[in-house]
Amino acid sequence: MKKIYFLIVVLAGGVLSGCGRGGGDRGEVVGVPARSFRAEVPYGMVYIPGGSFLMGQTDQDVTFSQIAQTKQVTIQPFFMDQTETTNSQYKMFVNWVRDSIAISKYINDNKYYIQPQGGAGKNANGKKYINWDYVKKNPIWSNKKGQANNSQKLQGMYYQGDDRVFDRDEVDVRVLKYNYALYTLRDAANYHNDKSKHRSDFIFRDTVPVYPDTLVWLSDFSYAANEPMVESYFSHPAFRNYPVVGVTWRQARAYTVWRTRYNDAYKDKRHLPHRAPYMLPTEAEFEYAARGGRIGTDYPWGGPYIKNAKGCLLANFKPGRGNYTDDGGPYTVNVRSYFPNDYGLYNMAGNVSEWTLSAFDESASSFVHDLAPTFNYEAKSTDPEVLKRKVVRGGSWKDIGYFLQNSTRTYEYQDTAKSYIGFRCVTHYLGRDIKDKR
């Protein structure tokens, strides 16, 4: 018995010394120390479990529209925005760009920047970083007593001369541009054995005007009295929870980059690991999510009908011969209208069509892989228009029922903005599938 007790004490001591912080690794390979990572569902998103599905069109296609083969593909788990990106959410992006330009180019006051130790005004790398906590507490556009009055310094951001109306101070939206950089990983993989290439060859840089094109409510339609939508849709709080429209594919992608950096900055302050980057969904991810785990169905709610048993329409589209109000709204509606699909996603059909990450090619289904398939192409400004097509999914408030089908794919050019195209974001799940308990 004494020997048994002795062995227990020795083993316990060994375990405690091995687990102790000061015990070292005792010459063993124990891995690099790292903080534990626990998966979190990003705000406003839902979890989409990985799986396989039959991607492609159904027998209800209009004549001559069958441009893709039916194909079984597999999708890894990811998170997806529960709703389309709203005017209010996109306005956060616009305001962030506006305030960044105002502080860095017009105000130039050190109190709006993070002060490094020693109060030198600049960090060791010579760059200055905006103190957003200070900006939130001291709005730069406020004229209240006790707060900085920057009105004179900000005059350069307003429309000037004959562009002014009633001598009002209105921000010239043409100055609101966002600069960003991305790695083109596909190009890096294609040329990774080419010794003449440098890392800089695979960094894509872009400058994008961020303000939505509000004139789309007139330019999309001939002789339609949509002036109230031009004047109010993006700016009035009544539409804050409606889907943002008038954004190009390039603007939508710029938003995903900003949203990634915005969250990264929060995590960096708390020394937390980053999420996977926010992105636009590929067209395969969009169709998979729209189906909601159902097999062989026509619409996100199942189908085969667009009305429920009570005769109520299940999406915002163009019913019949054009009774736009029959489904509850003549234009777009609140992003949480109608019932969500089985994954909890709203308006995966109808309301607004949505940009995807994928480039459009009629024969893409025949050459993309069956594991996480997508066809991407980074179109240059000098490329022909046919190479600037991006896949659009979901159907919109002005489309007939055919475009609401899970499998229907169409396209729009990446630099065009429409009153019926919006977007939502995805971010990939890092680690094993949540349903995998092994």
Q: What is the pLDDT of residue 3?
A: 53
Dihedral (CA of 272, 277, 278, 284) sign: negative
* pLDDT at 39 (0 to 100): 77
Q: Is the pLDDT of residue 261 over 70?
A: yes
CB 353 within 8 A of CB 403: yes
* CATH T-level assignment (fold) for domain 46-86+282-438: paralog of FGE (formylglycine-generating enzyme) (3.90.1580)
* Torsion angle of C-alpha atoms 6, 10, 15, 20, degrees rounded to 10: 120
- Mean per-residue pLDDT over the chain, rounded: 88
Confidence of residue 224 (pLDDT cuts 50, 70, 90): very high
| One-letter-per-residue 3-state SS of 374-430 | CCCCCCCCCCCHHHHEEEEECCCCCCCHHHHCCCCCEEEECCCCCCCEECCCEEECC
Q: What is the pLDDT of residue 438?
A: 43
Helix H or strand E encompassing 87 = helix 87-101
Amino acid at site 409: R
pLDDT at 17 > cutoff 60 = no
Instruction: State the residue for tokens 């398939």.
Output: 373
* Cα–Cα dist 173/157, whole Å: 9
Average pLDDT, integer, range 188-192: 93
Q: Which helix (H) or strand (E) holds 88?
A: helix 87-101
Q: What is the pLDDT of residue 11?
A: 47
- 218 in Cβ contact with 224 (< 8 Å): yes
Q: How far, rounded to the nearest angstrom, does the alpha carbon of residue 109 sit from its chain's CA centroid?
A: 32
Asked whether residue 355 carries a pLDDT value surpassing 60, the answer given is: yes
Cα 436 to Cα 289: distance, rounded to the nearest angstrom: 19
- Percentage of the chain beyond pLDDT 70 is 87
pLDDT at 231 over 90: yes
For the segment 26-81, what is each residue's pLDDT rounded down to a tens digit?
899 989 888 777 778 999 999 999 999 999 876 555 555 555 678 899 999 999 99
Given a cut of 50, whether residue 401 has pLDDT beyond it is yes
Q: What is the pLDDT of residue 437?
A: 46
First-to-final CA distance of the chain: 39
Q: Three-state DSSP class for 142? A: coil
Angle between helical axes of 87-101 and 249-269 (0-180°, round to 10): 70
Residue 400 is which amino acid? I
User: What are the tens digits of pLDDT across the range 97-126?
Assistant: 999 999 999 998 899 998 876 555 556 567
Contacts of residue 84, defined as CB under 8 A and 6 or more positions apart, other chains included, come to 243, 244, 335, 346, 347, 351, 352, 354, 422, 423, 424
Map tokens 């995966």 to a residue.
348
Looking at residue 34, its pLDDT comes to: 80
Is the pLDDT at 15 greater than 50? The verdict is no
pLDDT in the model for residue 8: 47
Provide the whole-model pTM. Answer: 0.90
8 A C-beta contact, residue 316 and residue 351: yes
C-alpha torsion 430→183→290→428, nearest 10:
10
Q: Give domain limits for the chain.
A: 46-86+282-438
